[in-house]
A = this chain, B = another copy of it.
Amino acid sequence: MQIKREELVERTERMREQMNAHGFDALIIYSDEYRSGNGTYFTNYKPINLIEESPQMLCLIGDLPPTLFIGRLNSYAARQTVWIEDVRPIHKLNEFMPEVFASLLGRPARIGLIGDNLLPLSNYRVIQHHLNQADFISCTDLLIQLRQVKSSNEIDLMRKAARIDDEVLAGLLKKIHVGQTETQVAAEAEYIGRKMGADLGSATVVMSGPNTNFPAWRPSERIIEPGDFVLVDFNPAVSNYCNDGGITVLMPGASQEQTDALTFGHQVIKEVIPLIRPHTVASTIYDLMLERLEPAGYADNFVPYAKGQRGVGHGVGLDVVEQPDLTIDSDFDLLPGMTLAIKLDLHGLTGGGFRIECVVCVSETGIDPLNELILAENDTFTILS
């Protein structure tokens, strides 16, 4: 199952309509192979980083057919697999600019830049040199708007990725044990997912014990001890569409405080998710969590992390972390077709803290959970004895 050519062409035409509606003469859409969504959204191709680094730079100029610049070595596979006919190696950007942008040379032009948070200065300088009378205007939001509401094909792929992640996390519960290192836990998770055919949507997070205090952490050689929280965030991708699911495992020997908190965390996630409604303001998700956590005495373990460091979720799709962001300040409306990772982070507990995360799709009437494991299991399923 793959996104079909017709859908890719249609996305490109919708992008072009946005370009025209906002009075741009051209759009330059940039992403690299690590945060590939902006490019992959139109090409269905995700470059690989070996031997070379490879961006995708899609150029829409007036009503001309699109041009794709891509890494030199990736261009061979892209030419055979991508629907766009004009594929050029980006190491010759300087040479190809006059031909590709012929219609805009030597005159004022309004050029929209999508992905200027990724477009490197060195490439921008080449573009600017050739289009030296152009205004370059950041308009990444135009693509964010398109990408944040998913089609049924996109949701199908994300459901497949979610099912894999559910199997990974369920399988991991049988593998994880005191004495393993964080890296070895990552090895087990990745092995299950990769054998099922998943690509790695992001680096795998494994934090244990005191390392759960960090909002971001690369798996280390720290050895898991009795009573540790072990936070695992594994993000498989299927046909470039990602899942962002996570559980926290509590190792045997934990305190009652840890057990109670993690049990309650599962309860809150399972209560809140079914209450989310389309066409309500997104900050509701934070509110629904706080409403439950505060009377139970967990507000201090929640608020500073959800407000300052972590939020309560974000969009997921071609990239593991996409717009929109879910925080106390999210004032946009939840729209049918939005695919969101919903997460509860409690920290500052004895022994650190935990995260529970699953991906849902906002539907016309409520919530369609893509990850099912956490919602189906009992509230103590990650507490090992």
Binding site for B on A (CB under 8 A): 32, 34-35, 46-54, 71-74, 76-77, 113, 116-125, 138, 181, 183-184, 186-187, 190-191, 193-195, 197-200, 202-203, 205, 213-219, 221, 233, 235, 309-310, 314, 320-321
Q: Contact: B121 with A216, CB < 8 Å? A: no
Chain B neighbourhood of A117, CB < 8 A: 120-123
The residue from B34, B35, B77, B235 contacting A216, defined by CB atoms under 8 A apart: B77
Cβ contacts A to B, 15 pairs, < 8 Å: A48-B203, A48-B217, A50-B202, A50-B235, A50-B320, A51-B314, A71-B216, A73-B309, A76-B214, A76-B309, A118-B120, A124-B124, A183-B198, A187-B191, A197-B221
3 tightest CB-CB pairs across the interface, nearest first?
Answer: A187-B194, A73-B215, A73-B216
- How near does chain B come to A273, taking the closest CB pair, in angstroms? 19
- How near does chain B come to A275, taking the closest CB pair, in angstroms? 24
The residue from B35, B183, B191, B197 contacting A199, defined by CB atoms under 8 A apart: B183
The residue from B52, B54, B123, B216 contacting A76, defined by CB atoms under 8 A apart: B216
**What residue in chain B is nearest A136 (Cβ atoms)?**
B121
Complex-state Cα separation, A230 to B107, whole angstroms = 51
Complex-state Cα separation, A47 to B200, whole angstroms = 17
Oligomeric state, in copies: 2
Chain B neighbourhood of A51, CB < 8 A: 215-216, 310, 314, 321
Complex-state Cα separation, A339 to B77, whole angstroms = 29
Complex-state Cα separation, A314 to B50, whole angstroms = 12
Assuming the A-B contacts A35-B53, A76-B215, are A205 and B116 also in contact, with contact meaning beta carbons closer than 8 angstroms in the complex? no
- How near does chain B come to A136, taking the closest CB pair, in angstroms? 8
**What residue in chain B is nearest A193 (Cβ atoms)?**
B187
Q: Contact: B190 with A194, CB < 8 Å? A: yes
- How near does chain B come to A47, taking the closest CB pair, in angstroms? 7
Q: Contact: A49 with B191, CB < 8 Å? A: no
Chain B neighbourhood of A121, CB < 8 A: 113, 116-117, 119-121, 124
**What residue in chain B is nearest A183 (Cβ atoms)?**
B197
Assuming the A-B contacts A116-B120, A121-B124, are A50 and B214 also in contact, with contact meaning beta carbons closer than 8 angstroms in the complex? no
5 new A-B contacts at CB < 8 Å, known A77-B217, A113-B121, A184-B197: A50-B203, A74-B216, A76-B216, A124-B124, A187-B191
Complex-state Cα separation, A211 to B32, whole angstroms = 22
Chain B neighbourhood of A214, CB < 8 A: 73, 76-77
Chain B neighbourhood of A113, CB < 8 A: 121
**What residue in chain B is nearest A74 (Cβ atoms)?**
B216
The residue from B52, B187, B203 contacting A49, defined by CB atoms under 8 A apart: B203
**What residue in chain B is nearest A71 (Cβ atoms)?**
B216
Chain B neighbourhood of A181, CB < 8 A: 197
Q: Contact: A216 with B120, CB < 8 Å? A: no
Assuming the A-B contacts A76-B309, A120-B118, are A195 and B205 also in contact, with contact meaning beta carbons closer than 8 angstroms in the complex? no
- How near does chain B come to A158, taking the closest CB pair, in angstroms? 18
Q: Contact: B216 with A321, CB < 8 Å? A: no
Assuming the A-B contacts A187-B190, A309-B73, are A216 and B116 also in contact, with contact meaning beta carbons closer than 8 angstroms in the complex? no
Chain B neighbourhood of A120, CB < 8 A: 116-121
**What residue in chain B is nearest A113 (Cβ atoms)?**
B121
Complex-state Cα separation, A195 to B185, whole angstroms = 8
**What residue in chain B is nearest A185 (Cβ atoms)?**
B194
Chain B neighbourhood of A125, CB < 8 A: 116
- How near does chain B come to A256, taking the closest CB pair, in angstroms? 28
